[in-house]
Amino acid sequence: MQELLFKHFQYNTIKTATVKFFNIITDYLTTSSDYIINLALDPGKPLTAEMREELAHKIKIFSLELGFNITILFNEYNIISPGIGTNNDNVIFAIHQVESLMKKNLAKDPKFLNLLSFVSSEFRSGQDDFVNLMDLDGKHKSK
């Protein structure tokens, strides 16, 4: 848990989490755990350096997905989902307040902000790679 979850969130953020947030965390932990269990199916076989490297890479990818999913969830436009199943303004207001509090907790969590920065950096790097490929492709087509 320390390496998978508390590396990305402070205890208070998780303690005050909303259901939607817990769903994302549960998916992340399930995916990560399943991968780790499947990697070490033979308990008598030690983890090789290659397996450790693969594990670290996969956990990094799962972490990126976690940060991305939380960012999408708490995007201002997504904070109240249209399918909450009620037309009661008091219920909608209460849900909005709970989700807003969760968003504020995330905004104050330095561990989550580090994860968010990492996600942003990876997206920028990927975008740069795609732009470079497009530039290379354009140069090859013009010859």
Residue 1, domain member (yes or no): no
pLDDT, residue 18, reads 85
pTM of the model: 0.75
pLDDT, residue 57, reads 93
pLDDT, residue 79, reads 53
pLDDT, residue 65, reads 95
Residue 105, domain member (yes or no): yes
Range of the domain at 101: 11-142
Number of domains composing the chain: 1
CA distance 59 to 32: 7
Number of neighbouring beta carbons within 10 Å of residue 96: 13
Q: Give, for all 143 residues of the chain, the pLDDT tens digit.
A: 888 999 999 999 998 888 888 999 999 999 999 998 887 666 677 778 888 898 899 999 999 999 999 988 877 655 555 555 666 777 777 777 778 888 888 999 999 999 999 999 998 998 888 888 888 777 766 55
Question: Which class for 112: exposed (0-12), middle (13-18), buried (19 or more C-beta within 10 A)?
Answer: buried
Residue 2, domain member (yes or no): no
Residue 106, domain member (yes or no): yes
Residue 6, domain member (yes or no): no
Residue 52, domain member (yes or no): yes
Residue 129, domain member (yes or no): yes
